[in-house]
Amino acid sequence: MTILTTLGIALGTAVIIIVLSVMNGFQEELKKRILGAIPHIVFEQPTAFKDFENILNLIEIHPNVELAKEYLEGEGVINAGQNTLGAIFRGTDTTEISIFSENILDGSLKTLDDNTNAILGDSLSLSLGSFPAERVNVINANQINNFTNIPKLVVFNVSGTFSVGSEIDQNYVLIGKKSFRKLFMKEYGQGIEVKLKDVFRVDDTVKDLKEIINSDFYIKTTTWKEKYGGLFRATQLEKIMVSLLMGLILLTAIFSMMMSINMFVSDKRREIAILRTMGYSKNNILQIFLGMVFILGIVGILLGNLLGVLFSSNITEFFQILSSVFGISMMSVYYVDYFPSIINPLQVLIVNVCALVLIVFFGLFPALKGASTKPGQVIR
């Protein structure tokens, strides 16, 4: 019973560590693949910012700002053959601060120096049926030719594709800055996009940067929270709920430990009575059973840590073995073909402390029962 109880505690601890590590990994992948591709903060105003370069330098001094640059993005329509889709067009060059430059599949950002070139997300390219070395039509419905009453249309050569592994691949098109300025008339003038070191401190950073810019004109501010804040809140809530549910496994093991020690106390009433008559106090008996509980808890938790860390570090290989044995692909519905896992030492420490506190708390009841045994009654 001691072995089974210890294994139960180890399994419960390991499951919580594994779940937290996998959720950490997926949250980090989500943060990297979505927030890494979009601006964390965008400042725009009807008139261009005065002393634009100086403002960029002042913004980059902020401790939470990694980089700042000119913001050029607009919405339009892209067409190839019979396929027409809406898309977001980003004016960029080789100084791109997002992860686009790191995830080019074909071509490079240098090709955008030619104003007739464009780089498409691989999913968008597939939907259009247009691939590198082919042409696409880009339509800006906001600009109408006064003579023909037809929206502005520009033909681009597809010079490459990119894939950041998220929904960004379905609706983003990269074009050169000169091409962007010819195609779009910015509604809010020249903008500034900011990349943050800690994206979750965006609200405080926005307040600080507005004071730094100190403009007399209205500034339109957009942050990543407006579009993806709900997604990350849902992910965080899911992480908490799944961890609590997995914690029930550990709680069940701890309750089983309490029942087994309670049975042990009942079985050893005679031995307890003999020790009491030999001079052992109630506190001495209490210490014996609490020591037993503590040892079971420590051994179980350490074993759980070992299992949890080993499994979390090799979870992708484990599921690859399962996939090969059963002939199924468990990651085919995700943007990644592996299980991302990040072991957070602080989370592991919190799990260990909480588990140990619960073990000692539930183990205290049978220990008190053993300490309160009356030797006179047992001897009679």
- pLDDT tens sequence across 217-276: 778 888 998 888 888 888 888 888 888 888 888 888 888 888 888 888 888 888 888 888
Is residue 44 domain-shared with residue 24, that is, in the same domain?
no
Domain boundary among 176, 197, 225: 225
* Helix 2-30, helix 315-326: angle, nearest 10: 100
Is residue 23 domain-shared with residue 115, that is, in the same domain?
no
Q: Can you give the length of the chain in residues?
A: 380
DSSP 226-294: HHHHHHHHHHHHHHHHHHHHHHHHHHHHHHHHHHHHHHHHHHTHHHHHHHHHTT--HHHHHHHHHHHHH
Look at the chain and report how many structural domains it folds into: 2
Q: Are 211 and 146 in contact (CB under 8 A)?
A: no
pTM: 0.76
Is residue 245 domain-shared with residue 221, that is, in the same domain?
no
Domain boundary among 190, 225, 260: 225
- Residue 377 has, within 13 A of its CA and on its CB side, a CA count of 4
Is residue 268 domain-shared with residue 175, that is, in the same domain?
no
At 183, is the pLDDT very low, low, confident or very high (cuts 50, 70, 90)?
confident
Is residue 14 domain-shared with residue 118, that is, in the same domain?
no
d(CA 164, CA 356): 42
Is residue 262 domain-shared with residue 170, that is, in the same domain?
no
Is residue 67 domain-shared with residue 216, that is, in the same domain?
yes
Is residue 216 domain-shared with residue 117, that is, in the same domain?
yes
- pLDDT tens sequence across 39-65: 899 988 777 777 788 888 888 899 999
Is residue 325 domain-shared with residue 257, that is, in the same domain?
yes
Buried b (16+ CB within 10 A) or exposed e, 164-199: bbbebbebbbbbbbebbeebbebebeebbbbbbeeb
Domain boundary among 225, 252, 275: 225
| Beta-strand pair 117-121/41-44 | unpaired
Is residue 173 domain-shared with residue 188, that is, in the same domain?
yes
Is residue 262 domain-shared with residue 329, that is, in the same domain?
yes
Is residue 255 domain-shared with residue 364, that is, in the same domain?
yes
The pLDDT mean for the chain works out to 85
Q: What is the pLDDT of residue 314?
A: 87
How far is the first Cα of the chain from the last one, in angstroms, to the nearest whole number?
30
Tell me the sheet residues that pair with 273.
none
- pLDDT tens sequence across 326-378: 776 655 555 566 778 889 999 999 999 999 999 989 888 888 888 888 877 77
Containing structural domain, residue 185: 39-225
